[in-house]
Amino acid sequence: MLKVSPIHRQYEVLPSLNDPSIPAMAPMPAGETADTQRIVERFGDGILAAGVHNGQQIVYVQPDQLLNLAKFLKEDAELAYEALIDVSAVDCSKLPQPLNGRRFQTVYQLRSYARKQHITVICPLENDEEPQVDSLTSVYQGANWPEREVLDLMGITFVNHPDPRRILMPAHWPNHPLRKDMPLGGEEVPFSFTWGDPEFETLGKQVLPAESVPPEVPPGMSRENMIINMGPHHPSTHGVLRLAVELDGETVINVDADLGYLHSGFEKTGENKRYKDFVYYTDRMDYLSSMNNNLGYVLAVEKMLGLEIPERAQVIRVIMSELQRISSHLFWLSTHALDVCGTGMSLLMYATRERERILDLFEMVCGARLTLSYIRVGGVWKDLPPAFLGNLRHLLEILPAAFDDYEAMLTDAPIWRERLEGIGHLSREDVINMGLTGPMLRGSGVDWDMRRDVPYCGYENYEFDVPVRTAGDCYARYEVRMAEMRQSVRILNQAIARLPEGPYKTEDRKVSLPPRAELDVSMEALIHHFKLVTEGFHVPAGLGYHGIEASKGELGFFIYSDGSGVPYRLHVHGPSFNNLFAIAKMCKHHMLADIVTNIGSIDIVLGEVDR
Amino acid sequence: MDWLNLVILPAIRVIIMIFVLLTGAAYLTWYERKLISRFQIRYGPNRAGIYGLLQPAADGIKAIFKEEIIPNHVDKVIYLMGPALALIPAIVIWAVIPIAKETPAIADVNIGFLWILAIAGVESYGLILAGWSSNNNYSLLGALRSSAQMISYELPMGVFLASVLMLAGSFSLVELVQNPRPWWEWIWLWAMFPFFFICILAETNRAPFDLPETENELVAGYQTEYGGMKFSLFMIAEYINMITTSTIMATIFFGGWKLPFGILQNVVILGPFVLLAKVLVLLFLFVWVRASIGRPRYDQLMSFTWKFLLPLSLVYMFITALLTIQFK
């Protein structure tokens, strides 16, 4: 069993400046919208509070009405919140006066694609010791994995959940790590300069004893058939994904995904880091699109701060985001072709060649190629170097021809079409109900792109098309991604044309560091510098969710702030995690080889799935 | 008993042949790696020796000195037999292949075609037994695939070969090369070449038909539990098979050791070099296909042979029979 050793050093409590207002609850939403009005009318006392907060519709609901509310939200023609994007939970035990003395809240993000509306439903749970709430899986299929994640990390039981197992942590893990009474790092990290020190006595013993794999097969599978174990070390699971596959001959009957081999507790880490320091961690989640991860997190924080970003910084962000999208898609294309077609496939090297050019550009702006941390709260890290735009223009001339080459190799190649068409079919209803996002959504005929429909970073000023295909198979998703790369080039051309002069980060000294020259002449600048470096900036108490269109789908950050310089609760909605949920449905009754096609088509990065 | 002619000379020739084949297989890996790296805009091996020419030797030394691991859960005798059963037929098939005038083949048996078909049939046993004895689901699936695939593709291949020997009027490969053919026969043969080449790709488990060892689905298929020299034997067998089949194709379709139009027909020493040049061109085809064509799915592969190749080969044989009756 896990024990916190006596010599375990408690992490220093980050400063709250003796401010009596910290920590504070997020304020209740105020005002009303047509939607919240309709909900309150229907449910009356079942709704604790409803309104708008941080520009976001929020409804607090009693746990006994949650399931009814979800049904109402989905089925009511005027509301039509068809998709459940995300489920998370907050442990309020360290806040001054949890709502009506209730410790846990579950938080649901719902989306209406038709009406372009987003609503947050928060449900404070009654029982603090054994919290439980109705599962929404009967209404939204996509609630399955996110609810398992909450069960795993927060210890909230979902009643009537079809598959109540842990998902990220090992099955025998003794606690629920995201609860506030769990310290960061349950085990000690021995550190000393001399081997004789008592700190090393427990070295190697702090890890849980390995438990043998339980003999029983995953639920829904039978020993009658052949069960093979794909992963965690398998050439085409893109990391450490493990799939238990039930086979009848070569036909797949059942697939069960086992996640968590790369679980690194980003959320827990984030809750112990200052806001500005978590940017560097976001790189490591979806390590193929760190710019987009930076951007998603930074935008969520800026939304909470209510910060205005200079125009130049916005355009730079768009440039970086689109470059990253192309590079991520190129990597997807090359590995997908490799998975489907075999090692000899030269496309891997061709697409990597173009991706290297993009990474060269990233190296120009921030010195790194993979973990970039270039986009910071308040703007970007440094201004663009003088040679950047010339190189970018050159790249944009090359790229369309390169895309033509790739399409010439694949799009009409009979074997490629045979392998992709009709494989991994998902209908429009499926993808919405499962809460899938990104190209998965657009490949099945849902015309939705966060950049166009919930614009951020000034995306409303750019002209671009959202490629949509209705076939819903792997080939449709392939077409969507190829078309997206071309659209990204289009956006980049417009961004270069409109890149204005001006500051590349906000002038707000509460958030961004003053320039070095100012420190010599201004006492105030010196104070700001000192405060920012020592304790970072404070974010007003509140909660907010912000989603962006990352290359793999909707990347959302849910932040609950208690008014201090450290997020009270930080939840990451990774698109790979939700999209991977579809793997079971996509693979059923297809051949073994199609599993590989489907994994490639979902485009997962395990760093983001497991977080 | 004439010991010299019956035992000693053939033995020397056999040893030379085996040596040439093993070296050839080793350098075929170099040839393939160099070529495929050029297809993929990179350099390929270039550290061991000039142009990486010592790379195959380095690989061989590495494979020999690797620890021989035999997993506990395998059926040991059959597990060890697997690689040998894969390699032996690959070499034995060379007994009947003519490489030059006067010294046509190690054994100029009058049933060369049947020998090739028979030995090619034995080859799949090595793979099947290796996969079965490994006691591993991936290996088993790989073995099942390889048996189904090789047997299926041997059918159209056999029918195509039957057509060829109908035209030649002889079971001997030596005679096939030596007897002159009319022009229409060449064209009729070349029309069949693409389909025969597809059969050969499947028969040698080469990309895009490398389904028994698809690393993307089956990790390494039937070879999953093999390492070190045992694994190398499989690879050597595969590469020798490539050389063998290229040689057979060169012999059947492109005149073997002869130059076209009877040029320099009496210079015996040229024979092997002409054959080598033809084989290298055909091997280039193997690599070219691997670098540019994707892999079909297993069921697509099977339906391709049963629904397209086999009927086609039967039709081809029928027309060939008519042609033979008419013109010969």
Per residue in A543-579, pLDDT (tens digit) is 889 989 988 889 999 999 888 888 888 999 989 898 9
Nearest to A342 among B42, B295, B299 (CB): B295
Q: How far is A498 from chain B (nearest CA, A)?
A: 36
pLDDT at site A4: 42
Nearest to A418 among B36, B217, B300 (CB): B300
A199: tokens are 């700190």
Q: Has residue A540 got a pLDDT over 90?
A: no
Q: Which among B29, B211, B289, B297 is the top mutation candidate for probing chain A, defined by the most A β-carbons within 10 Å of its own β-carbon?
A: B297
A418 at interface of B, judged by CB pairs closer than 8 A: yes
Nearest to B207 among A235, A344, A349 (CB): A344
Per residue in A275-291, pLDDT (tens digit) is 888 899 898 888 888 99
Shortest CA distance from B220: residue in chain A:
A235
Q: How far is A231 from chain B (nearest CA, A)?
A: 10
Name residues 388-417 of chain A within 8 A of B (Cβ). 409, 413, 415-416
Per residue in B68-120, pLDDT (tens digit) is 888 888 888 888 888 888 888 888 888 777 766 655 556 666 777 788 888 88
Distances A303 to A296, A528, A551, A571, B147 between C-alpha atoms, Å? 11, 21, 21, 15, 62
Per residue in B215-253, pLDDT (tens digit) is 667 777 788 888 888 888 888 888 988 888 888 888 888
Domains annotated for chain A, with CATH where assigned, are: 20-159 (3.30.460.80), 266-610 (1.10.645.10)
User: Are the C-beta atoms of residues A602 and A582 closer than 8 Å to each other?
Assistant: yes
Chain B residues close to A593, C-beta within 8 Å: 214, 216-217, 297-298
Q: What percent of chain A has pLDDT over 90?
A: 18
A248 at interface of B, judged by CB pairs closer than 8 A: no
Cβ within 8 Å, pair B208-A342: yes
Per residue in B3-29, pLDDT (tens digit) is 777 778 778 888 888 888 888 888 998
Computed over every residue of chain A, the mean pLDDT equals: 84
Q: What is the DSSP string of B155-174?
A: HHHHHHHHHHHHHHTSS-HH
Q: How far is B164 from chain A (nearest CA, A)?
A: 30
B217 at interface of A, judged by CB pairs closer than 8 A: yes
| Angstrom distance (rounded) from CA B27 to CA B136 | 32
pLDDT at site A204: 62
pLDDT at site A400: 92
Q: Has residue A525 got a pLDDT over 80?
A: yes
Cβ within 8 Å, pair A413-B291: no
Could you tell me where the beta strands, DSSP code E, fall in A193-325? Answer: 226-230, 242-248, 251-258
Q: What is the DSSP letter of B133?
A: H
User: Are the C-beta atoms of residues A243 and A502 closer than 8 Å to each other?
Assistant: no
Cβ within 8 Å, pair A341-B294: yes
B210 at interface of A, judged by CB pairs closer than 8 A: yes
pLDDT at site A202: 65
Per residue in A143-177, pLDDT (tens digit) is 889 999 999 888 898 988 888 888 888 877 788 88
Cβ within 8 Å, pair A409-B292: yes
Chain B residues close to A338, C-beta within 8 Å: 216
Chain B residues close to A416, C-beta within 8 Å: 294
| Angstrom distance (rounded) from CA A21 to CA A538 | 12
Cβ within 8 Å, pair B41-A345: no
Shortest CA distance from B290: residue in chain A:
A344
Cβ within 8 Å, pair A346-B40: yes
Contacts of B199 (CB under 8 A, 6+ apart): B153, B154, B156, B157, B160, B305, B309
Cβ within 8 Å, pair B295-A415: yes
Nearest to A591 among B219, B293, B298 (CB): B298
Cβ within 8 Å, pair A235-B215: yes
3-state secondary structure (DSSP) of residue A468: coil
Q: What is the DSSP letter of A97?
A: S
Q: How far is A415 from chain B (nearest CA, A)?
A: 6
Nearest to B296 among A236, A337, A415 (CB): A415
Dihedral of CA atoms A38, A42, A44, A46 in degrees, nearest 10, equals -110
Q: How far is A570 from chain B (nearest CA, A)?
A: 36
Cβ within 8 Å, pair B208-A594: no
Per residue in B49-58, pLDDT (tens digit) is 888 889 998 9
Nearest to B294 among A227, A228, A342 (CB): A342
Minimum mean pLDDT range among A92-101, A195-204, B134-143 = A195-204
Residue A79 pLDDT level (bands cut at 50, 70, 90): confident
Catalogue the long-range contacts made by A411-415 (C-beta closer than 8 Å, 24 or more residues apart): A411/A479, A411/A482, A413/B293, A413/B294, A415/A341, A415/B208, A415/B293, A415/B294, A415/B295, A415/B296
Q: Has residue A468 got a pLDDT over 50?
A: yes
Nearest to B217 among A343, A348, A592 (CB): A592
Q: Where are the alpha helices (DSSP H) in A539-610?
A: 575-580, 583-587, 592-602, 606-610
Per residue in A257-271, pLDDT (tens digit) is 888 888 888 888 888
Q: Which helix (H) or strand (E) holds B129?
A: helix B112-133
Contacts of B320 (CB under 8 A, 6+ apart): B163, B166, B167, B188
Say if residue A540 is preceded by a cis peptide, omega within 30 of 0. Answer: no
Q: How far is CA B13 from the centre of its chain?
A: 21
pLDDT at site A12: 44
Among A571, A546, A18, residue whose Cα is nearest residue A306: A546
Chain B residues close to A419, C-beta within 8 Å: 294-297, 300
Cβ within 8 Å, pair B216-A413: no
B302 at interface of A, judged by CB pairs closer than 8 A: no
**Hey, which residues does A30 pair with through a beta bridge?**
A52
Q: Has residue A203 got a pLDDT over 80?
A: no
B39 at interface of A, judged by CB pairs closer than 8 A: yes
Sheet (strand A542-550) strand order: A542-550, A553-561, A569-573
Per residue in A39-69, pLDDT (tens digit) is 888 888 888 888 888 888 888 888 888 888 8
| Angstrom distance (rounded) from CA A110 to CA A294 | 23
Chain B residues close to A340, C-beta within 8 Å: 216, 294-295
Q: Which among B224, B295, B299, B304 is the top mutation candidate for probing chain A, defined by the most A β-carbons within 10 Å of its own β-carbon?
A: B295
3-state secondary structure (DSSP) of residue A294: helix
Residue A363 pLDDT level (bands cut at 50, 70, 90): very high
A595 at interface of B, judged by CB pairs closer than 8 A: yes
Shortest CA distance from B39: residue in chain A:
A346
Cβ within 8 Å, pair B217-A236: yes
